[in-house]
Amino acid sequence: MARRSKTAPAVRKPAAARPAEVQASALRRTRREHATETAKDYVEAIADITALHGEARAVELARRLGVTHVTVVRTVARLQRDGYVSAKPYRSIFLTEKGSRLAEESRQRHEVVVAFLRSLGVPEEIAQTDAEGIEHHVSPETLAAFKRCAASRR
């Protein structure tokens, strides 16, 4: 059995631990954002593909999102149930008004995060990649701060 050193560092507690209810609220928000993350990615991709080709098809969505055709079909069915898209089997997928609003909101959030990261000197390609995750999880207040910061650095 090894002897414990008399000078071993003690385990430190965080300086300002958050109250349980504050942490629980933050974690609930994160779970909600995770739940809508896929919908946001899909409607944004559908909007982009439709702008390029006039319509979006499952095979193109699968290619663009890096998922299988089966995954696209299942997710589109959920998006249709939630009112974001209209689709029929083996046909094109179109955004509803609700889906178009979500796609535009997602695009704007993405652009703000990219602009902020670029203002910090992050290369374009990395900023685009990092924004894909960040855009879903920042609060409106943080997003506004990103926007102000990016604008002040121009």
**DSSP structure class, residue 13:** P
- Total-model pTM: 0.76
The string of pLDDT tens digits covering residues 6-52 is: 555 556 555 456 788 877 877 777 777 666 889 999 999 999 999 99
The string of pLDDT tens digits covering residues 59-80 is: 999 999 999 999 999 999 999 9
Please give the full DSSP string across 62-129, using - where no structure is assigned.
HHHHT--HHHHHHHHHHHHHTTSEEE-TTS-EEE-HHHHHHHHHHHHHHHHHHHHHHHTT--HHHHHH
Q: What ranges do the domains of the chain cover?
A: 30-152
Residue keyed to tokens 């609003």? 101
Residues 102, 93: contact at Cβ < 8 Å? no
The SS3 of residue 138 is coil
CATH of 30-152, one of 3.30.450.20, 1.10.10.10, 3.30.750.24, 3.40.50.460: 1.10.10.10
Query: Helix 97-119 to helix 124-134 angle, to the nearest 10 degrees?
Result: 130
Q: From the CB of residue 78, how many other CB atoms can be counted at a distance below 10 Å? A: 13
In 3D space, the residue among 138, 146, 141, 115 whose CA is nearest the CA of residue 128 turns out to be 115
